[in-house]
Amino acid sequence: MTTHASTSEQRPPAPWGDDDSQRPVRLAELLARVSREALQGEGIDAVLRRIVDCLVQRLPVALASIVLLNDAGTAFVNEVWAGELELDQPQLVPSWPVSVGAAGRCARLGVAQLITDVDQDPDYVPGNCAVRAEYLVPIRHGTRLHGVLNIESTRSDFFTHDACLVFDAIADQVAGAIHLARLAAELEAANRKLAQLSMSDGLTGIANRRCFDQRLALEWQRAPAGEATLALLLVDADNFKALNDACGHLHGDECLRVLARLCSEALEGDRDLVARYGGEELVLLLPGRDLRAARRLAERLRARVQAAALPHPDSAVAAHVTVSIGVAALVASAATTPEELILAADHALYAAKARGKNRVAGVARRADRIRAPLRTRLAPA
């Protein structure tokens, strides 16, 4: 079980004499303070830590803790505490079953537990020998039991009716804070999933054009000026329209998925990216690769596609699916742009197509010579 001890500076609690007429006022002030603390901090642990700190700082209690249950409600899996714990170090165990301890009894029964004499309670687990009384409250939001609020005092008469009502209200505030924090975490996870989906191609599962555009721009920005080479492979399935016409779009879609997988398996670097560029075109972004290295990778990829022997009954090139690959490499600098790298790879792809398809062609030349519209002229091999 994960445990979190308070690290904030402990201040002595306010006087709490037997004849203290200000006790109701102080309890009300405590409730208001806990309510403010419940709105502070980032994440569940931070909020709970502020609350237990507040309780120990403002009450004559030896320990205050909040223990959270797993989703099944069978074990405590997280504890945040503050106060004077006489153990050398809190035990770190994966979980604490609800069959153990007074907190477990509170969770099992789902009702508050007032222990006026800890020496007489069979389930009490000692943590401070000076503790005389303990109050445990279920932390519940709606029908879900999140955990247990545990307060331990060195005074057997501390937990008056009014004090217990305040702790009941504090448990409700803790439950609300936990519920809101979990909703926020679930929303954040959902947003991450949506962001991931927005960057993925629905058919092939690889990155989409939007993701590729962002990564290319990022790689251009992060490259040291005039020092980093970026290579690009444009991969196009030969005679793909004829494949769809002959075998149907479902077969064509399956071929695209296989091509995407083969492209993904061809990646070598941690920063390499494969994306669906559009239609039957796939693109591989290879940071740090020069033209020679990129052409070697492209040739291996072309050979793997050929070896896969995906049927293509209406191809003018072979009886199976083949690809043409355009390769380009540029040094990222203030004088070049990502669009020029794409344009160079596009010219190379057009050259590969013009020379009979099922082949690799590449260009590496100055950016100021690669400014013609896409596919308006051949590029040298």
Distance (Å, whole) CA 283 – CA 147: 51
Whole-angstrom distance, CA of residue 171 vs CA of residue 150: 9
How far apart (Å, rounded) are the C-alpha atoms in residues 124 and 108? 15
Say whether pLDDT at 357 is over 80.
yes
Locate 313 and state its tokens.
């009954």
For domain 209-369, the CATH superfamily is Reverse transcriptase/Diguanylate cyclase domain (3.30.70.270)
Helices and strands in the chain: count of H runs, count of E runs: 9, 12
243: pLDDT strictly greater than 90: yes
Confidence grade of residue 85 (pLDDT, cut at 50, 70, 90): low
pLDDT band at 170 (very low <50, low <70, confident <90, very high): confident
- Cross-strand pairs, 113: 136
Examine the pLDDT at 231 and tell me if it is beyond 90. Answer: yes
Lowest mean pLDDT among 148-152, 160-164, 297-301, 346-350: 160-164
Q: Which two tokens stand for residue 184?
A: 């926020």
Q: What is the CA radius of gyration of the chain?
A: 33
* pLDDT tops 50 at residue 367: no
pLDDT in tens, 274-285: 999 989 999 999
Beta-carbon contacts of 323 under 8 Å, excluding residues fewer than 6 positions away, are 235, 236, 237, 238, 259, 301, 302, 305, 358
Beta bridge partners of 61: 153
Quick one: DSSP state of residue 209? H
Distance CA 117, CA 22 (A): 26
Determine the pLDDT at residue 41: 58
The boundaries of every CATH 3.30.450.40 domain in the chain are 2-195
- Average confidence score pLDDT of the chain: 84
CB 254 within 8 A of CB 272: no
Burial status of residue 171 (CB atoms within 10 A of its CB: 0-12, 13-18, 19 or more)? buried
Rounded distance, CA 278 to CA 5, Å? 54
Bigger pLDDT: 121 vs 6: 121
Give residue 246's pLDDT.
92
Q: Which residue has the higher pLDDT, 50 or 205?
A: 205
pLDDT exceeds 70 at position 379: no
pLDDT at 318: 93
Q: What pLDDT shows up at residue 15?
A: 42
Q: Are strands 113-115 and 133-141 parallel, antiparallel or unpaired?
A: antiparallel
pLDDT value at 88 more than 50: no
Q: Helix/strand/coil (H, E, C) string of 135-184?
A: EEEEEEECCEEEEEEEEEECCCCCCCHHHHHHHHHHHHHHHHHHHHHHHH
CATH 3.30.70.270 residue window(s) in the chain: 209-369
User: According to CATH, what is the number of the domain 2-195?
Assistant: 3.30.450.40
Q: What percent of the chain has pLDDT over 90?
A: 52
Weakest mean pLDDT among 31-45, 68-82, 303-317: 31-45
Range among 72-81, 295-304, 369-378 rated most confident: 295-304
Active site includes 339?
no
Which candidate in 37, 280, 281, 340 is catalytic?
280
Q: Measured between alpha carbons, how far is 76 from 94 in angstroms, rounded to an integer?
A: 9
